[in-house]
Amino acid sequence: MAVWKCAECGNVVEARCKPGKCKACGAPKDKLAKEKAAEPAGKSCRAGRTCQK
Ligand SMILES: [Zn+2]
């Protein structure tokens, strides 16, 4: 599970791959920066891809 931090509001989102937007403030995904990855590469979505959820 990766941790994404919103640059707009500071909200932290745990998700396997990059969320489409911040759940707290609705900022677009380019505002979300990866904080850390707790999973080895390969289990997460490919870089640059976004969850369809
Ligand atoms: Zn936010």
CA of 12 to the centre of ligand 1 (A): 8
Report the C-alpha gap between 50 and 43 in whole angstroms: 14
At residue 37, the pLDDT reads 60
Q: Which residues are CB-neighbours of 38 under 8 A, at least 6 positions away?
A: 1, 2, 3
- What is residue 35's DSSP assignment? E
Reply yes or no on whether the pLDDT at 47 is more than 60: no
Enumerate domains of the chain plus CATH numbers.
2-37 (2.20.28)
Provide, rounded to the nearest whole percent, the portion of the chain with pLDDT above 90: 42
Please compute the mean of the pLDDT values over residues 17-39 and round it to a whole number. Answer: 87
Edge-to-edge strand ranges of the sheet holding 32-37: 12-15, 2-6, 32-37
Element (H, E) at 17: none
Provide, rounded to the nearest whole percent, the portion of the chain with pLDDT above 70: 68
pTM: 0.63
CA of 33 to the centre of ligand 1 (A): 11
Q: How confident is the model at residue 36 (pLDDT cuts 50, 70, 90)?
A: confident
